[in-house]
Amino acid sequence: MGSVTTSSSADRFHFDPAIPAISVGDRTTLLDSRAAAIFALLQARAGERVGKDELLSAAWPNQVVHENSLAKAISKLRRALAGSGLEIAPIYGVGYCLRAAPSPEANPIAGAAASAGDRASRWPLWAAIAILSLVLAATLVLRLPSATALRTTPPATHDPPGAIATILWVDDHPANNRAEVALFRQRRIAVHLAETSEDAMRLVAMNDYRLVISDLGRGEDRLAGLKLTQALRERGAEVPIIIYTIRPSAPERQAAQRRMIAEAGASDLALTPSEVREKVLGRVGG
């Protein structure tokens, strides 16, 4: 059986498969049977990479389940492990690994600041960090192209003063939604537009959105909207997400579509222009 410990996790962390639950200090998180099975396998192979297929088989034996279900369970386990000194690290394209979380000393900037403090004890730590920050800022300024001009106008996403809410709409063909966007803006709902998941992630990190709308497929990626939803949930974003797409013709495919969207963490599904208008206005108002 694998094992992984940290200097502080031994007396703060406990996994009880009988309940099942994970305890960190005074906080106990109850687990469902599938999350417990996933964690039991990761703990048994601690320090090793465990493949996605193995984890899916452990939690959903003899079932065909989308990888989004595994990602959702991993996200729950990560929240349960917060503060334990342990982490579930992704092994991209392969699976996951339960290991000790990196210590602050592993951060090269923090390590450099600590070394500077050791060599010159008369300098407090905050002074060393301030010097490093100035050096980094100066380096970045020197790397800027000489023709770069400072912004003198508000950014493109600047909202009107009377906006009652701000939403983000992710679609690689924003012109298709022109009528709906115009309606929302008439209702004093500010709409930010993104054509890629990468831009959407950056905007969510910078802005406080009441709602996110995303298409399902984008370019060659037929599941781009699900992957974006999953990524936002894994990073702790709780903003409601509506997937706006078309309905498959067969009832069993419709059921599969709804199931995958729910498992990814989306809040709702809209299938027509009138439906997306109704659901946005119902959640945001205006």
Distance of CA 30 to CAs 14, 44, 213, 235, Å? 12, 19, 32, 21
Q: Looking at residues 15-29, what average pLDDT do you find?
A: 89
DSSP letter string over 198-257? Answer: HHHHHHHHHS--SEEEEES-BTTBTTHHHHHHHHHHHTT----EEEE----SSHHHHHHH
CATH class of 13-100: mainly alpha
Residue 272: the pLDDT is 93
Tell me what pLDDT residue 125 has. Answer: 57
What is the rounded radius of gyration, in angstroms, for the C-alpha atoms of the chain?
23
In percent, how much of the chain has pLDDT > 90? 53
Comparing 13-100 with 165-284, is the CATH topology the same?
no
* Residue 107 pLDDT exceeds 60: no
Residue 37 corresponds to which tokens in the numbers above?
A: 């099975």
Cβ pair 200, 170 in contact under 8 A: yes
Higher pLDDT, 92 or 74: 74
Domain boundaries, the chain: 13-100, 165-284
Q: Which residue has the higher pLDDT, 140 or 200?
A: 200
Average pLDDT over residues 168-197: 93
104 vs 198: which has the higher pLDDT: 198
Per-residue model confidence as pLDDT tens digits over 59-90: 999 888 788 889 999 999 999 999 989 999 99
List Cβ neighbours of 185 (8 Å cut-off, separation of 6 or more). Answer: 191
Query: Is 70 exceeded by the pLDDT of residue 135?
Result: no
Q: For residues 114 and 89, which has the higher predicted lDDT (pLDDT)?
A: 89
Using the predicted structure, report yes or no on whether residue 142 has a pLDDT greater than 60: no
- Lowest mean per-residue pLDDT among 74-78, 116-120, 124-128, 261-265: 116-120
Tell me the C-alpha distance between 127 and 116, whole Å. Answer: 10
* Token pair listed for 88: 């579930």
The pLDDT of residue 138 is 54
Residue 141 has pLDDT above 90, yes or no: no
Task: Supply the mean pLDDT for the chain.
Answer: 81
For residue 201, give both structure tokens. Answer: 């992630």
Classify domain 165-284 at the CATH topology level: Rossmann fold (3.40.50)
Cα separation of 150 and 147, whole Å? 10
pLDDT, residue 194, reads 94
What's the whole-number mean pLDDT along residues 37-55? 94
| Cα–Cα distance for residue pair 29/88, rounded to 1 Å | 16
Q: What is the Cα–Cα distance from 112 to 143, expressed in whole angstroms?
A: 22
Output the pLDDT for position 209.
Answer: 93
Query: Residue 144: pLDDT above 70?
Result: no
